[in-house]
Chain A
């Protein structure tokens, strides 16, 4: 819903895969992103109905899986503290954005209409989404570190490493 400007005449919005995966894990995360996409398409006419399958595939499945795999690969860094966690969140969100964009490029190559040269599509998609990925990375890093500083036990990626909860009566 909330687009941030990346260039004059172009904007980007959160995809949310890495964010969801880091906070609640890959399976629940993919469901969360899917629910958002369905509500956006049905209630707000944002994202086509016939494109819903592609959107779920790219943003909810590919995006969340990618964000999760990158975050898990860098888990040791994330456990080092707030700065490490922010860096891991940023990187996994950036990669998630580029790989989700790649999902569209592959789908266009397989069955897209218009016959546009695939290199041209890829160049535009990757160029724009590299910029969008920076915004995605910043939003993800801020959100994840905010949750981690108040309730580290709620960050899926840090499970098992977070300090045990203090029991209060």
Chain B
């Protein structure tokens, strides 16, 4: 049982830490749509665009994309564990 979760974690970290370097930097479907139609001209800058991990980098440095990815996995896991622990069904006794 534990093996599955360890394997699951290793695959997640590899995808976030290594595969992320091969991600396409072209605009996604929605970005492309709003750019081509001019809707994007009405967009404002993201309030956190200057934050440490903005755009999956570290202080604007793309060489740390893998680090940003790994931290993202850890943060999502931590929040999920916390939330689902709070939301768990409590047994009627003890």
Contact B37 A36 (CB under 8 A): no
Which residues of chain B come closer than 8 Å to A110, judged between CB atoms?
none
A-B pairs under 8 A by CB, number: 116
Name A132's contact: one of B29, B51, B53, B80 (CB within 8 Å). Answer: B29
Q: A38 — nearest CB in chain B belongs to which residue?
A: B79
- B10 shortest CB reach to chain A, Å: 13
CB of B13 within 8 A of chain A? no
- Majority secondary structure, B binding face: helix
Q: A58 — nearest CB in chain B belongs to which residue?
A: B30
Contact A120 B37 (CB under 8 A): yes
Name B20's contact: one of A1, A101, A116 (CB within 8 Å). Answer: A1
Which residues of chain A come closer than 8 Å to B42, judged between CB atoms?
113-114
Contact A114 B38 (CB under 8 A): yes
Contact segment of A44-52, A62-70, A72-80, A84-92: A44-52
Number of interface residues of B (CB under 8 A): 42
Q: Tell whether A4 pairs with B37 under 8 Å between CB atoms, given A35-B79, A46-B55.
A: no
CB of A161 within 8 A of chain B? no
Which residues of chain A come closer than 8 Å to B37, judged between CB atoms?
114, 116, 120-121, 124
User: Interface size class for chain A?
Assistant: 35 or more
Q: A48 — nearest CB in chain B belongs to which residue?
A: B46
Contact A32 B72 (CB under 8 A): no
Name A45's contact: one of B16, B39, B43, B55 (CB within 8 Å). Answer: B55
Q: A24 — nearest CB in chain B belongs to which residue?
A: B84
**Interface of chain A residues 1 through 56 with chain B (CB within 8 A):** 1-6, 8-13, 28, 31-32, 35-36, 39-40, 42-46, 48-49
5 further A-B pairs in the complex, CB-CB below 8 A; given A1-B69, A11-B29, A31-B84: A45-B48, A45-B53, A46-B55, A114-B37, A114-B38
27 contacts between A and B (CB under 8 A): A2-B15, A2-B20, A2-B23, A3-B28, A10-B32, A11-B24, A11-B25, A11-B28, A28-B84, A35-B76, A39-B72, A39-B76, A43-B51, A43-B71, A43-B72, A44-B54, A45-B48, A49-B46, A112-B39, A113-B42, A114-B38, A121-B37, A124-B32, A128-B29, A129-B29, A131-B29, A132-B28
